[in-house]
């Protein structure tokens, strides 16, 4: 089963989700974007970007422009690269893709046992039958790729098997087997990843293709570009190759966070902790993550299920303004924005998986989930005046949300109601309904009439949500409703 030729990558063509091979991913201009769960999308995006970087990394921006204006040239270079390394993309055989034959002594875990959807503790998402569901070959390939970036930390990895003699990273202070660390793209609570998407998948890869000049400029990884893991896998946790992979761009794009190999019955994986990747606390992070440097300690933007990522758009793009007072950094966005000249449409994608953690064990609680958003950006936003306008529109929505919450609280107080989660539920519904309005605002940021119309739509939302949460059926309810209904006039104490 070879990933170059078999169909295993979920993508969108037209309005349908289909699976394509690596060859098709780099040659079919009809592929709009990557599909799947957010973690799968991000892992595939990083993988395809890594292949492109390994096949051809332009010297500088001028060299990038030459290939950016001729996407078929990148396709040709990638096909030559894939042909050269074809034997490294088999799921089984001498060089199983992103797998370690030497980890065969580690315990076998079923795919269900190490899936993030199958929660630990008292919050099971699936029954036993669903946990043991067999995966076909395409699903196994995607599962392995995604695990390397987004494996949960905890006790599921068998850390009794150590491949580098004398390595202590899999032991605790007492010398006993330690719990495994979370994968490099996940983090403690779930990093939010953001990147630019183009008119089709090829252009998405192109606009995110880094130059050698940029790699030297960002100075995040001391090893520079590096060599991808599939070309040469490590032999242990702390071998020379392992150190190279943890200190390079390509080693981070497709990490080896888990040492694993498909079991003989192909129903699970021999599974152990892999390479010891540093994180944002050490000054290392995926280029698609957003880090806040406004405090003494670097703070990543985590996935927050109560707040859709599109609400962060002005913070994520704040680097567009030279004088903007922000310390949020997203290297992938900053580098890609410079290359949007090849795009007709720009989409800002953000996504990830929120997780909880207890005693070094990560799991998905009832409040955790996958989260993603895609916002089509009008190029006018890149002009200072329109960026300021976008900030104003989002601020107006924030004001409306505060007015809604204040009105509901006053209504409940008037009736002597004490329901602590009511306002947060109403606010969540309001913001969910606002997403389409905001998307339309972003697309039409340079058309005042549409902006005015969308503000009216937002005020109507406030009224509708308030009425749903604050009935006026009885005379007492009607009196409270009249006194506390949202007042949109100036001076309404917002």
Question: Partners of 262 in the beta sheet?
Answer: 269
**Exposed e or buried b per residue across 59-69, where buried means at least 16 C-beta atoms within 10 angstroms of its C-beta:** eeeeebeebbe
Contact by Cβ (8 Å): 213, 244? no
pLDDT in tens, 371-401: 999 988 877 777 777 888 998 999 999 999 9
- Asked if residues 230 and 74 have their Cβ atoms less than 8 Å apart, the reply is no
105: exposed, middle or buried (Cβ count in 10 Å: 0-12, 13-18, 19+): exposed
From the list 1, 43, 3, 38, the residue with the least C-alpha distance to 20 is 3
Residue that has been written with the tokens 């890594």 in this structure: 50
Can you read off the two tokens belonging to residue 419?
């329901």
Q: What is the pLDDT along the chain (494 residues), one digit of tens a residue?
A: 999 999 999 999 999 999 999 999 999 999 999 999 999 999 999 999 999 999 999 999 999 999 999 999 999 999 999 999 999 999 999 999 999 999 999 999 999 999 887 644 434 444 554 456 789 999 999 999 999 999 999 999 999 999 999 899 898 888 888 899 999 999 999 999 999 999 999 999 999 999 999 999 988 888 999 999 999 999 999 999 999 999 999 999 999 999 999 998 888 999 999 999 998 888 888 999 999 877 888 899 999 988 888 888 888 887 665 445 567 789 999 999 999 999 988 999 999 999 998 888 888 877 678 999 998 887 777 777 788 899 899 999 999 999 999 999 999 999 998 877 899 999 999 999 999 999 999 988 889 999 999 999 999 999 999 999 999 999 999 999 999 999 987 544 44
Question: What are the tokens at 62?
Answer: 């001028």
The owner of tokens 């002597």 is: 416
- Identify the pLDDT of residue 120: 47
The Cα 141–Cα 2 span in angstroms is 10
pLDDT at 367: 66
Domain boundaries, the chain: 37-54+183-377, 383-484
CA torsion sign, 5 to 11 to 53 to 72?
positive
DSSP string, 1-39: -BTTTS--EEEEETTEEEEE-HHHHHH-TTEEEE-SSHH
Claim: this prediction has a pTM higher than 0.75: yes
Q: What is the pLDDT of residue 118?
A: 67
Q: Which residues pair with 2 in a beta bridge?
A: 90
């Amino acid at each position: 089963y070879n990933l170059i030729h078999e169909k295993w990558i979920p993508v969108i063509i037209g309005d349908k989700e289909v699976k394509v091979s690596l060859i098709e991913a780099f040659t079919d201009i009809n592929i709009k974007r990557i599909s799947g769960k957010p973690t799968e999308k991000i892992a595939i995006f990083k993988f395809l970007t890594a292949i492109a970087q390994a096949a051809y990394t332009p010297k500088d921006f001028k060299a990038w422009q030459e290939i950016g204006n001729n996407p078929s040239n990148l396709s040709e270079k990638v096909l030559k690269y894939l042909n050269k390394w074809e034997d490294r993309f088999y799921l089984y055989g001498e060089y199983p893709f992103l797998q370690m034959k030497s980890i065969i002594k580690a315990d076998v875990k079923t795919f269900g046992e190490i899936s993030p959807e199958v929660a630990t503790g008292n919050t099971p998402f699936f029954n036993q039958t669903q946990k043991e569901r067999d995966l076909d070959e395409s699903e196994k390939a995607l599962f392995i790729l995604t695990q390397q970036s987004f494996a949960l930390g905890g006790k599921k990895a068998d850390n009794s098997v150590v491949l580098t003699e004398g390595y202590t990273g899999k032991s605790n202070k007492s010398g006993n087997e330690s719990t495994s660390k979370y994968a490099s793209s996940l983090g403690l609570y779930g990093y939010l990843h953001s990147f630019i998407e183009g008119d089709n998948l090829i252009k998405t890869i192109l606009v995110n293709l880094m130059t050698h000049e940029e790699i030297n400029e960002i100075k995040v990884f001391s090893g520079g570009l590096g060599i991808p893991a599939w070309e040469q896998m490590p032999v242990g946790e702390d071998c020379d190759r392992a150190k190279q992979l943890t200190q390079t761009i390509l080693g981070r794009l497709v990490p080896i966070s888990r040492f694993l190999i498909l079991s003989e019955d192909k129903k699970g994986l021999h599974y152990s902790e892999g390479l010891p990747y540093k994180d944002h606390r050490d000054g290392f992070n995926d280029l698609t993550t957003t880090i806040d440097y406004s405090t003494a300690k670097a703070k990543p933007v985590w996935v927050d299920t109560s707040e859709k990522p599109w609400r962060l758009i002005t913070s994520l793009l704040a680097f567009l303004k030279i004088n903007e007072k922000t310390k949020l950094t997203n290297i992938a966005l900053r580098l890609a924005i410079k290359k949007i000249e090849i795009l007709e449409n720009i989409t800002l994608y953000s996504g990830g998986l929120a997780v909880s953690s207890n005693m070094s064990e990560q799991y998905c609680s009832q409040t955790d989930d996958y989260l993603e958003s895609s916002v089509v950006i009008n190029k006018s936003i890149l002009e200072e005046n329109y960026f300021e306008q976008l900030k104003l529109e989002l601020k107006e929505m924030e004001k409306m949300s505060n007015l809604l919450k204040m009105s509901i609280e006053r209504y409940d107080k008037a009736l002597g109601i004490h329901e602590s989660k009511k306002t947060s539920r109403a606010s969540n519904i309001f913001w969910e309904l606002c997403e389409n309005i905001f998307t339309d605002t972003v697309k039409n940021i340079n058309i005042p009439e549409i902006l005015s119309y969308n503000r009216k739509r937002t005020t109507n939302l406030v009224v509708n949500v308030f009425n749903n949460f604050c009935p006026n059926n009885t005379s007492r309810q009607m009196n409270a409703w009249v006194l506390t209904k949202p007042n949109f006039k100036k001076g309404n104490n917002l």
